[in-house]
Structure formats: C-alpha cells, structure tokens
A and B are shown apart, each in its own frame.
Chain A
Amino acid sequence: MADSIHVRIDNRLLHGQVVQYWIPFLEVERLIIADDEAATNPAMSAVYRMAVPGTVNLSVVPVSDLAREVAASNASTTLILLSDVFDAARAQTNDLSFDRLVLGNVHATPDRKRITDSVYLSREEIDSLMQFRLNGGRVEIQTFPGERLHLEIDDNGDPKWSKR
C-alpha cells in the first residue's frame, strides 16, 4: 500500500498543469489514471504514456480496478486522476479508501454551475461531495498549488466553499 495518496478530479486527466506543476510539486512516483474510456482506448493510453515524465510509473485502469491497483503499489507518493465526481464515488464503492478529494478541473456543461474558473458542478455532484464530507472526508478545490477552497456545510446544511 502506498504511503501518500492524492486523489484528484480532472476531466483532462494528464495534461500540462499536472505534468509541469503537480507531478514535480507532489514528487509523484506513481500515477494512476482511473478512467473507463482511457483504459479501453489504446490510443488514449498511448498518449498518456507519451506525455508522462520518465521518472513516473504510470498505469491506466478502469475505475473498478483502481483499489486493486493501489493495494498492489508500494510507491511512496501516488497521484490518482479521475474524470469526475461520480467516478470518485464509484472508486469508493469499489473499495478504494481515501479521506481527501481534490477538484482540479471540472469543465462547464449546461447542468453545472460555476464554482471557480476551472470547476463547475451540478446539483447531483454537489450532493455526492456533501455525502463524502458528511462521512468525514475533506473536499478541496485546488487547481493550482497556491489556491485552496474547502467544502464546508453551513448552518442550514447547505454547501459553502471557504478559504479558511
């Protein structure tokens, strides 16, 4: 089991920000992209293999295999990339245990509302994040290392994003 695990939601999965900033900043040794589309599309996994820095050990797996992949790893620092909030919830249902969830990039769609320039969430996604929060998990928006918004629950039981 890896020592330190960062679970990050990013619709663009492995891209410039992750390659240039997060991988060196977190000193990532092992990167697991858990995405059903990427895992079943050989061209997509080839692109991620091409894009990842040579020092990082990469796997591209379906969400249902994520817990097994993590359990088999002994890397000191692992970064897990997931496409959206529902994939994170599905990873939990499939026995992956984590207590902090970071939202990096969640793109705009008609049913999502803007939280920050890089993160848009639907009602259902916020409900899922609130559930994770109520179960003792921490939810943070952190697109860049210098930015951090925490999901809090206000006195009415509504979600509130705070800099704290």
Chain B
Amino acid sequence: MIGIIVFCHGTMAQGMKHAAEMIVGPQPDFAAIGIEPGHGRQQVSDLLDAAIADTDTGNGILVMTDLAGGTPCNTTALKMGKGIEMLAGFSLPSLIKALLSRSEVSDPRELADLVSEYGRQHMTTGAQMLRACGPTELDHG
C-alpha cells in the first residue's frame, strides 16, 4: 500500500488527518506534519525525512501539501523520485480519495494524478449543488 503524508503550514495537517479519520476510521502508514514560524530549511527537511521513514512500506509515498510554492511543497519537491510523489493544494475530499484508493493503485504518480483530478472536481458551491438536484424549496433563484 502507498504511504500517505499530509504536510502543511501550522496544524492544518494534523486537523486534516483527524477530520479524514472521523470519516474513514484510523488509517495505517498515514502521517501528518506541519511547519511553524521559527522553523528553518534543515529542520523542515528533517521533519519530512522522519515522516517518510514512518510511512514507507516499500510501495512509494504520496505527500499531500497545502499550497503550491509553499515550504511543505518546495521541501517535498526536493525529495521527489525514488517512489516519492507530491501534490499541492489538497482538500478533505481529495485526502479521503487518496486514503481509499491507495491500495488499488500501485504507482504513487498514478495516485497523485487520480487524487488531484478528484480534488479539482469536488470543489463546488451551494448554488451548483442545488442546480444539480433540480427545483427545491431551498432554491431562491
């Protein structure tokens, strides 16, 4: 099974892990790490190395980061290859999708593609959701 690391600013990763496990239950080979003010480049890199060691089952790892161009994303980009893949800008739907699909896909890059596409499709608005179910009493035009 592909390992999953969520890697974000502040405590978002821990919060996302908690939220995802409220929905799909406790998950193996799943780590959450966050950067804080006062962290330097080396410290952030060491944090990721430790999480990689914790979640590595030999089948590759997908690191899901919060923001393209942010430190979690940039730090992970430096470690890509050798079975480590990264995506940036993940959401709760995409994290749940990753957790539920990772045993059916063998390649972490394939998982990254599938999950990022899923995340893009699952950002919606109340109006779009109402439109999709036809006329309802919630519809104020």
Contact = CB atoms under 8 A, between A and B. Distances in A.
Contacts of B40: 11-12, 107-109
A16 B38 contact: no
Given A15-B74, A44-B78, A47-B74, A117 B69 contact: no
Contact of B77 (A50, A105, A107): A50
Given A47-B77, A47-B78, A117 B70 contact: no
A143 interface: yes
B67 interface: yes
Nearest to B70: A16
A131 interface: no
B55 interface: no
Nearest to A15: B71
Interface in A11-70: 11-16, 19-20, 43-44, 46-48, 50-53
A15 B43 contact: no
A14 B69 contact: yes
Nearest to A107: B40
Contacts of B39: 12, 107-108
Among B9, B38, B73, the one with the most A-chain Cβ atoms within 10 Å of its Cβ is: B38
B74 A118 contact: no
A48 B38 contact: no
Contact of B67 (A12, A16, A107, A143): A16
A12 B69 contact: no
Most chain B Cβ neighbours within 10 Å, of A47, A48, A143: A47
A161 B113 CA distance: 48
B68 interface: yes
Given A12-B71, A51-B68, A51-B73, A120 B78 contact: no
Contact of A118 (B37, B68, B69): B37
B41 interface: yes
A15 B73 CA distance: 9
A109 B43 CA distance: 10
A105 B74 CA distance: 16
Contacts of A51: 68-69, 73-74, 77
A12 B78 CA distance: 13
B133 to A, nearest CB: 35
17 contacts: A12-B39, A14-B69, A15-B70, A16-B9, A16-B67, A16-B73, A19-B70, A44-B78, A46-B77, A50-B77, A51-B73, A51-B77, A105-B37, A117-B37, A117-B38, A118-B37, A120-B38
Interface of B: 9, 37-41, 43-44, 67-71, 73-74, 77-78
